Amino acid sequence: MTAISCQGISKSYGHYEVLHDISLTIQQGECFSLFGPNGAGKTTLLKILATLQRPSEGRYEILGLDGLKEKETIRANMMFLAHGAYLYDDLDAKENLEFALALRGQTPTDRDMKLALDRVGIGAFAEMKVRNYSAGMKKRLALAKAMLAKPKVLLLDEPFTALDSAGTEIMREYIRERLSENGTVLMSTHDHNKARPITSRAGMLRLGSLKEISLKALKSDDLF
Amino acid sequence: MTFFNVIRWIVWKDLVTELRSRETISSMVFFALIVILIFSFSFSMDQQAAREVIAGIIWVAFAFTGIIGLGKSFSAELQNDCIEALQMVPESKGAIYLGKVAANFLFMFIVEILLFPMFVIFFNLDVVEEISWLLLIFLLATVGLSAVGTLFSALTVQIRAREVMLPILLLPLVVPVMIAAVEATKGALNGDPLSMYRQWLELLVVFDVIFSVVSFWMFEFVMDN
């Protein structure tokens, strides 16, 4: 079954066209990696698919639901891990998890939260305010949020940024787990070496246009 | 059920973060104290003149401290891009609106309750008999301010000059609430019978209902665009 499908997506800011006629289909159980230089439009495309921005042209469907008309249902089945991590500095890790999941209509138990925090390696800091977290710890906490939410579609914007090698492996392990449960992952990344082991298909976004590339091309050091 | 849970969690989050940071209430109280001090010195020689304008002074202080709180309500959501997480909540955005209105109302009302004794002391007001009516006036006017202010806080949060734009857009809209609040407060402070300022209380109720319903309805559009 198709999990993500977009046809003719374009996005302009004033006269500047960031995305041009993007068409893409991703099946359930696939991990699609989106590569491209800075300013290529990767984050913009993810934000459109996350229902945060409207495309200037084109249409898209997530799990067969119209992205412009059925946003609420899409949001209930999707999670977007963005650069900002969506965390409140004055709340601790557990409170952040509880709050974020409550807004999704989920009520994680203390045990579930502890397990998720232990799994991402920050269990010892569960009651520390996020204000005192490093960028990598914030990324791990955002990952714990996704683990508890168990979304059918996971959008990841630069998931390996700020993560050390252990954190990268935890992220990859979680992505593999989602895929094995028929989930779908679309991620943007610069790091083709870290993304390669979990990528099912890949695309290169350059000057707003998307072109699918072979997995073999990911082995090249001069990808960009 | 999720709708009411979202309201509850938004209020909880805003209260807990404020209790820990004390950024909003402390800046509101500090600003209002300065306003009270300046006006009390201005009128220190003429207590009669002060009594004539005290209702206006009270509402100038309350409205501007309220704007400080309202401005922080959504700008705090810019931290770590949390506003995007609110946009992606799979529930009617009206729940987020009501949660924010409730939290803003609480902050503003708490500050008003803290500040009013200062007005009583500095301007030598006799309010014992009218205190319940004054509290009702404060409550009704604060509901109106927070209802429309929350919408405009969300509307201006992504604008670069949001600190300037919020009062510019909000104040003209809440003029009717301010006029009704000032007139009702003046009546209560003068010890007038309720029948003499009842129409201003009714006007406040009408504005509260209109502002709340329209803002609730528009909030979804503001958050999604």
Which residue ranges make up each domain of chain B?
Answer: 2-224
Q: Which of residues 136-155 of A touch B (CB under 8 A)?
A: 138
Q: Stretch A199-209: mean pLDDT, rounded?
A: 93
Q: Do A82 and B84 touch, CB atoms closer than 8 A? A: yes
- Give the Cα separation of B49 and A186 in Å (integer): 68
pLDDT reading at A221 higher than 90: no
- pLDDT (0 to 100) of residue B224: 82
**Chain A residues near residue B15 by CB distance under 8 angstroms:** none
- pLDDT (0 to 100) of residue A38: 87
- pLDDT (0 to 100) of residue B14: 97
Please enumerate in sequence order all residues whose Cβ is within 8 A of that of A162, keeping only pairs 6 or more positions apart, or say none: A134, A135, A136, A138, A139
For A1-20, the pLDDT digits (tens) are 899 999 999 999 988 999 99
- pLDDT (0 to 100) of residue A224: 62
Phi-psi region of A134 (alpha: psi -120 to 50; beta: other; left: phi over 0): beta
Q: Stretch A65-79: mean pLDDT, rounded?
A: 95
Phi-psi region of A32 (alpha: psi -120 to 50; beta: other; left: phi over 0): beta
- Looking at chain A, the whole-number percentage of residues with pLDDT higher than 90 is 86
Q: Could you say which residues of chain B have pLDDT below 70?
A: 1, 45, 47
Candidate CATH numbers 2.30.110.10, 3.40.50.300, 3.40.50.1100, 2.60.40.10; the one for domain A1-77+153-164+182-214+220-224 = 3.40.50.300
Neighbour-count burial of A14, counting CB atoms closer than 10 A to its CB (0-12 exposed, 13-18 middle, 19+ buried): exposed
- pLDDT (0 to 100) of residue A84: 85
Identity (one letter) of the amino acid at B41? F
- Give the Cα separation of B67 and B165 in Å (integer): 11
Domain extents in chain A: 1-77+153-164+182-214+220-224, 85-150
- Give the Cα separation of A145 and A102 in Å (integer): 11
| pLDDT mean across residues, chain A | 93
pLDDT reading at A165 higher than 90: yes
Closest CA to A167 of A199, A191, A131, A186: A191
- Give the Cα separation of A214 and B120 in Å (integer): 76
pLDDT reading at A66 higher than 80: yes
Query: Count of CB atoms within 10 A of residue B208's CB?
Result: 21
- Looking at chain A, the whole-number percentage of residues with pLDDT higher than 70 is 97
- Stated pTM of the model: 0.92
Question: How near does any CA of chain A get to the CA of B19, in Å?
Answer: 9
- The beta strand positions in B139-181, using DSSP E, are none
In this complex, the residue of A52, A87, A105 whose CB is nearest that of residue B88 is A52
Q: Does B5 touch chain A (CB under 8 A)?
A: yes
- pLDDT category of residue A219 using cuts at 50, 70 and 90: low
- pLDDT (0 to 100) of residue B41: 84
- Give the Cα separation of A146 and A154 in Å (integer): 8
- pLDDT (0 to 100) of residue B45: 63
